[in-house]
Amino acid sequence: MRFKSPIFAAGLMAAISSLPAVASAQEPADWASIEKAASGQTVYFNAWGGSENINAYLEWVGTEMKSRYGVTVVQVKLEDTASAVSKVIAEKAAGKNEGGSVDLIWINGENFVSMKKQGLLHSPGWATSLPNWAHVDFENQPTILTDFIEPTEGLESPWGGAKMVFFHDSARTEASAMPDNAAGLVDWAKKNPGRFSYPAPPDFIGSSFLKQVLSEVIADPSKLAKPVSEETFEADVEPLFAYLDQLHPVAWRGGKAFPQNYPDMKQKLADGELDIIFAFNPAEASSGIKAGELPETVRSFTFSGGTLGNTHFVAIPYNANAKEGALLTANFLISPEAQLRKQDPAYWGDPTVLSMAKLPEAERASFAALDLGVATLSPDKLGPVIAEPHASWMERIEVEWRRRYASGN
């Protein structure tokens, strides 16, 4: 995979290492005190609830946290992370600076940038002070240190990697016929009308598809690393909407309707209603096969020029009621045990954020022994990583998308 330059990553690491630890009554360095304070707390973990295997994984996390630390973890299932952010914003506006209703959020991208800018996150440096941070592969995965270009500054803790990968059913479609870039995809759709679509934004997977296309068609890709320019925005994104104007008439239901989310696309692939779908997890197809949700003939492919990739995180709001329990949960999520189970397609199949070189030999062997599944591409076949655009791009693009297409026109 291709990441940002080592010099850029080193600069970010130096900046993060200079940040103070959590400025609260319980410092992560005093871990025994945190465990004591966390016992009996209830952590309301606001996380996307649209996947059964992910929900099952979080149930396992809750069981482990309860038995090990006496912490109750309640998953608040979200359709859109922005709803949890809105809760925190409303509480701050009401002056509720303690005892908030959100303790931990599965977050990244524009939602992280928004909370950071508004001062809605727990103190800088808490994530890099967690005991299990010692295992994290931030040296070789610089997306752990930046979130959609924005430096994380220890304000959120990584707990999984992500990369866009496409799936097809090899019993119906030949691997050799699969497109190798966005232009090839729209050409394929024209030859196979009604067999491809994407979820409507602001669904995360649907928005990711728009970012993938934008990254390929924009005249100057370097602009995506910077905030949107109001002066050139319309010209910059016109190639994206010209692309969608070609795609929608030959998409599923003629672009007049869109799949609800990834699980809906997955069901449509299984039912033979769609021939190409995509996810932000290289092991998602294998997970679906193991769960009996997809045919055993489903296989993965990607674009040789690269697909979108990032790291996803958990964050603690500034007014969380169970800060100690949230810290303990975030630390458990990056433990070798939790990361091993998370990467196993039988449970989730999400790529780890840990460095194998930093793990004891027995734990390295456990990761090496994982069967990633028949439909999972090996790391060397995933292709380059295309960095996420600055968060301001999707904020504007989603508004423009709704204006143009939400009515089905």
Tens digit of each residue's pLDDT (9 = 90 or more) over 306-328: 999 889 999 999 999 999 999 99
Same domain, 49 and 112: yes
Tens digit of each residue's pLDDT (9 = 90 or more) over 192-244: 999 999 999 999 899 999 999 999 999 999 999 999 999 999 999 999 999 99
pLDDT of residue 29: 62
Same domain, 211 and 122: no
Range of the domain at 192: 165-308+386-405
Tens digit of each residue's pLDDT (9 = 90 or more) over 14-36: 333 333 333 333 446 689 999 99
Rg over alpha carbons for the chain, rounded to the nearest Å, is 21
pLDDT of residue 11: 36
In a domain, 184, yes or no: yes
Considering only CA atoms, which of 347, 342, 320 is closest in space to residue 332?
342
Per the model's pLDDT, the better-predicted residue between 139 and 380 turns out to be: 139
In a domain, 377, yes or no: no
Same domain, 171 and 154: no
Tens digit of each residue's pLDDT (9 = 90 or more) over 331-371: 999 999 999 999 998 898 888 999 999 999 999 999 999 99
CATH (domain of 245): 3.40.190.10
Same domain, 193 and 278: yes
Same domain, 238 and 319: no
Percent of the chain with pLDDT over 70: 92
Same domain, 356 and 342: yes
Per the model's pLDDT, the better-predicted residue between 50 and 92 turns out to be: 92
Query: Average per-residue pLDDT in the chain?
Result: 90
Tens digit of each residue's pLDDT (9 = 90 or more) over 255-275: 999 999 999 999 999 999 999
Same domain, 333 and 302: no
User: Count of domains in the chain?
Assistant: 2
For residue 13, pLDDT beyond 50: no
In a domain, 379, yes or no: no
Same domain, 60 and 173: no
Same domain, 197 and 299: yes
